[in-house]
Amino acid sequence: MRLLNVEKLCKSFGGLKAINTLDFHVDEGEIVGIIGPNGSGKTTFLNLLTGFLKPNSGKITFRGEDITGLARYKVSQKGMGRTFQLCKPFLDFTALQNVMVGRAYGQEPSKNMKTAAIESREILDLVGLGNKAEILVKDLTVMERKRLELARALATKPVMLLLDELMAGLNLAEADETCKLIARIRASKITIIMVEHIVKAVTCISDRIMVLNMGEKIAEGCPDEIVHHSKVIEVYLGKSHA
């Protein structure tokens, strides 16, 4: 089933075309990776999908409904959640309190604080922070804050989750654990779009990969096709990595 469909999406900042006539889709249950050089438009694309930016033209259809230019909180309520490159949690709140904030928004908000706390603890358990629920966020490690960022996104009860460089700053072992966690999240019937610079992580876990360069799609296909695609090697991977 087609969950997300993007048609001829465009976004310019002055004379710069950040996203140029982009067509894209995601089917229910997929993990789709998005890669590309710095400045290729990856985060801008996520911002357009989630209502943080409005496109100049084009159409975004999510769950059969036109959400083009919809306010970000309304996009969240439709079932699209996301993480951000830079984690900005409430540092003087506990991990549990941070996730409880997420349960107040998105799809099917908690009916009361008791329910919000119960559901938030379940989410913290899922991301491996169950034993950190009462710890202040300012005392968490980088990896733990990344996990908390993911938990806050999951707290909005998304059917589609957008991950913006969730593995940035993690070592290889931590990135491998995060890949396993993403696979568990997909198993809970959440569709995933992930933007990453760690190419090995994207190719290991994605069903399909789209490659952006200067706001345009230059390639799309299964991981094996992408790592052997001549133009992708030229503009992003490099021969030694491929």
Average pLDDT (199-214) is 92
CATH class held by domain 2-79+158-237:
alpha beta
Domain boundaries, the chain: 2-79+158-237
Higher-scoring residue by pLDDT: 175, 10: 10
List the structure tokens of 60. 């975004």
Residue 159 pLDDT greater than 60, yes or no: yes
* 97: three-class secondary structure by DSSP: helix
- Read off the pLDDT of residues 15-44 as tens digits, 9 standing for 90 and up: 899 999 999 999 999 999 999 998 899 999
Instruction: Check if the beta carbon of residue 96 is closer than 8 Å to that of residue 140.
Output: no
**Other Cβ atoms closer than 10 A to 24:** 20
Average pLDDT (212-224) is 94
Instruction: Check if the beta carbon of residue 61 is closer than 8 Å to that of residue 5.
Output: yes
Residue 242 pLDDT greater than 80, yes or no: no
